[in-house]
A = this chain, B = another copy of it.
Amino acid sequence: MNDESFEKIAKQIKQHNSFIITSHVNPDGDSLGCELALARFLKKLNKIVHIINHNETPKFYEFLDKNNEIQKYFPEKHNELIKNSDVIFILDTNQPNRLRSLEEPVLKSPAIKIVIDHHLEADNFADYYLIDEQATSTAEILYKLLLFMNNNLLDYDIAHPLYTAIMTDTGSFRFPRTDVETHQIIAHLLHFGVDPTEVYSKVYETWTPGRIQLLAKSLSTLKLEYDGKLAYMICTIKMFESTGTTEVETDNFTNYPMSIEGVQIGLLFNELDDGVKISFRSKGDIPVNELAKELGGGGHKNAAGARLFNVNLQDTIITTIQKAKKYLI
């Protein structure tokens, strides 16, 4: 990533008028924050901008989008718009299949396609790529692009979603790659009046009592294997039913196996109606994405996932633990 790659994308922005912004299925803080920050920046340049996602915005991120700038995709409503736009920004993913229902209309559109992302192994489908695998988040890259274009346009409405994006994608400034530059960017964003306590509370302090009960039940299933180097937890259909929760609410539950001293790999098994979803976490150099791949999934080195259909929970646990053994140090 250098000034030249910024310059190319800045040029595309300057030369065009109508923009679509989208991101991956199940959007997170980084993807939503980047979409809103980029849209607001483009609007300040008097561009026409639409943010369209496969999913609705999760409830705990609605505070970012008070004016409903993000739309859920409907073919009849959006296909023409996507087809006729000048530029499509794909943020926080470089795999078109992760756009899910938007994949087809985006790929079919003659619009110029620009990917901004911090993930590995980009598919070759876009016209321009701005990728930095060393960045904590797509927001760090986008921040630099916006500053490169016009640092006078930054304001609270742009800084607020960028802060949220970086805060969530770094796990509150603790995940690998959080560095000097991350904190320098955050210091700059806070200048615009972003309130860290407010953002944290809006994102993380929105639990339901049912979710707490689910956590209690799931924690009580926690087991250790291989001299405490692997720890796992289970959420069963019965637990979801009795607490009135869904699988979405197990987000971050994998922190608990990982919090035990000596654990190298942490697993969460969610029993679903049609199979099992496994979340994988690891510390240090253990490539848990390789383990996930063995089971048909994928992800980052220290955080990955897999979704198995028509399998039994107990069998899946046994198989997964067996396969995990060779990754332990």
Contact = CB atoms under 8 A, between A and B. Distances in A.
Contacts of A180: 187-188, 190-191
B178 A197 contact: yes
Nearest to A258: B205
Contact of A212 (B181, B206, B256): B256
Interface string A244-283: 0000000000001011110100000000000000000001
Interface stretch (A43-51, A76-84, A217-225, A309-317): A217-225
Interface stretch (A24-32, A85-93, A167-175, A318-326): A167-175
B219 A212 contact: yes
A174 B200 contact: yes
**Copy total for this chain:** 2
Contacts of A208: 260-261
A196 interface: yes
A231 B176 CA distance: 34
A209 B222 contact: yes
Contacts of A186: 173, 183
Contact of A213 (B196, B209, B219, B263): B219
Contacts of A141: none
A329 interface: no
Interface in A277-292: 283
A196 B212 contact: no
A67 interface: no
A184 interface: yes
A185 to B, nearest CB: 9
B219 A215 contact: yes
A220 B209 contact: no
Given A260-B205, A283-B201, A173 B196 contact: yes
Interface residues of A, number: 45
Contacts of A263: 205
A186 B183 CA distance: 7
A215 B186 CA distance: 33
Nearest to A174: B200
Nearest to A204: B259
B187 A183 contact: yes
Contacts of A205: 258-261, 263, 283
Contacts of A188: 180
Contacts of A222: 209, 212-213, 216
Given A183-B190, A187-B183, A220-B216, A178 B196 contact: yes
Nearest to A220: B216
B172 A179 contact: no
Contacts of A207: 256, 259-261
A212 B256 CA distance: 8
8 contacts: A174-B200, A176-B197, A183-B183, A183-B186, A207-B261, A209-B231, A212-B259, A216-B216
6 closest A-B pairs by CB: A216-B219, A183-B187, A172-B172, A174-B200, A216-B220, A206-B261
